[in-house]
A and B are shown apart, each in its own frame.
Chain A
Amino acid sequence: MKIDSRFLELTPSKGVEFDFDGQTVCAPDGANLAAALLAAGVSSLRWNAVSGSPRGAYCLMGACFECLVKIDGVSVRACQQTVKAGMLVTRLNHPQGGEHVSS
């Protein structure tokens, strides 16, 4: 598993691959998705729909809803998801992708 230099992996394990917004990410099968993305160096998970500011995981316990990502067309909290091989995860509200809500 490729770990971003910002983290120390305490119990190294075998990884599976999944796709995050076109980027291939490696993480242990069944790992917490938000943690796996952080470990891979991805700290910005979406753009805020109103202000466009980048947002990432904040509480990691499911209370704050900052870590929303899109899986199978549904917005879910990354901290409540587990990694599965081949899963497709995308960011919300891409400013370029025409997805950004303008007022």
Chain B
Amino acid sequence: MDADYVVIGGGVVGLSLAWGLLQRGKRVTVIDGEDRALRASRGNFGLVWVQSKGMSQPRYARWSQESARLWRGFAAELEENTGIAVPLEQNGGLDLHFSEDSLQSTVAKYEILKAKLNGDYPYDVLDATALRSIEPAVGPAVVGAILHHQDGHTNSLRLLTALTDDVKRLGAVILTGKRVAAIEKTNEFHLRMLDGDEVRAEKLILAAGLGAAKLGPMLGFRGLVRPQRGQVLITEKLPKTIYRPSLIARQVDEGGIQIGATNEEVGFDDDVTPEGLATLAAQAIQAYPSLAKAQLVRSWASLRVMSPDGLPIYQQSRSMPGAFLVTCHSGITLSAVHGRRMADWFEGAPDMELEVFSEDRFPLS
């Protein structure tokens, strides 16, 4: 046996899970794909986000809140171990609204969720005046916003770098450029790669994003993930213009403003389109009129890993016990709780209350 755990997928989810297991003294091998793999970990918006999650499943809201609380300590420990700063701002996040109706209907939903969370859902409803006093760049088309105090954002690329460094430092074996060809289970999991390499481990974690659709069934999972495209724009570095992230735009630590994102069902197409980018730009200018003068330096599209209801999937295989599926589209937000708590779940800790995230919740076709 090469390892206690083999983790298929070296993105933010796989690395966070590996990190937690390594901290427990487990031997871990991480298998990652090639440069041309889809790599949602590099294409995202970097939000550490609580609001709007779990509106129909409060457990997901609480899970996101737990991760948001753990994030600062998690980032600090990564920085202390690796010397790589993972910038984190948690001064709240804005949901901007262009009509009173949409604002009030969202508030109504938040109130219902807040009650289910025993009041632990700290947010303010800001009218145009209050909003502009904290976010002066917001334009007249925005009638108001919800400011949720548990929201924030980070730099995903630095998170990935720090996680990779620390996972290596903790003794993980990382194999890159690999494609899993076959998986067998006897008293251990035996993986064979397309290039002939082999890995054996007592337990296996599938954290391969959209790869779960193909690899999942090999392990007894349903693997119900589908791609959803998000196009994104990045501006030149600008003086501080936007103080809190919103779903429309945020200003990253080095000064560029990231504008996003579309929500398109186009299969595995991760190209940008002029129409998509034009729509993003138009909406950004509606929300923040001064962006009309900003030069754009980069655009890209990335594919979100979406389950049928948008919530994470945490599942142990019934046909191959010891194999676990972990997938979500909020890998950045959940990185801290994945790193700090999921090792307990893999090791069989009871009462983690993660049953709501099992594949059983999806109707059988």
Residues of A within 8 A of B (CB): 49-50, 68, 73-76, 93, 98-103
Contact = CB atoms under 8 A, between A and B. Distances in A.
A76 B254 CA distance: 20
B239 A100 contact: yes
A103 B254 contact: yes
A100 B254 CA distance: 11
A73 B293 contact: yes
B238 A101 contact: yes
Contacts of B236: 68, 75
A68 B87 CA distance: 28
Nearest to B238: A101
A103 B238 CA distance: 12
Contact of B255 (A75, A98, A101): A101
Interface residues of B, number: 11
A93 B239 contact: yes
Contacts of A76: 295
Contacts of A98: 239
Interface of B: 87, 236-240, 253-255, 293, 295
A64 B253 CA distance: 23
A49 B255 CA distance: 8
Contact of A101 (B87, B237, B293, B295): B237
Contacts of B253: 103
B243 to A, nearest CB: 13
A74 B293 contact: yes
Nearest to A74: B293
B142 to A, nearest CB: 21
Contacts of A68: 236
Interface of A is mostly: loop
A98 B293 CA distance: 19
A76 B295 CA distance: 8
A53 to B, nearest CB: 13
Contacts of B240: 101-102
Contact of A50 (B87, B255, B293, B295): B255
Nearest to B290: A73
Contacts of B237: 49-50, 93, 101
Contact of B254 (A50, A74, A93, A99): A50
Nearest to B253: A103
12 contacts: A49-B237, A49-B254, A50-B254, A68-B236, A74-B295, A75-B295, A76-B295, A93-B237, A93-B239, A98-B239, A99-B239, A101-B254
A93 B295 CA distance: 15
A44 B325 CA distance: 55
Q: What 3 A-B pairs are tightest by C-beta distance, nearest first?
A: A49-B237, A101-B255, A73-B293
Contacts of B87: 103
B89 to A, nearest CB: 11
Nearest to B239: A99
Contacts of A103: 87, 253-254
A49 B257 CA distance: 13
Contacts of B293: 73-74
A92 B252 CA distance: 18
A73 B239 CA distance: 12
A70 B183 CA distance: 58
A75 B257 CA distance: 15
Of A49, A76, A99, most buried by chain B (CB within 10 Å of CB) is A49
A102 B237 CA distance: 11
Contacts of B238: 49, 101
A21 B90 CA distance: 37
Contacts of B254: 49-50, 101, 103
B364 to A, nearest CB: 51
A83 B293 CA distance: 21
A73 B237 CA distance: 14
A97 to B, nearest CB: 9
A103 B237 CA distance: 12
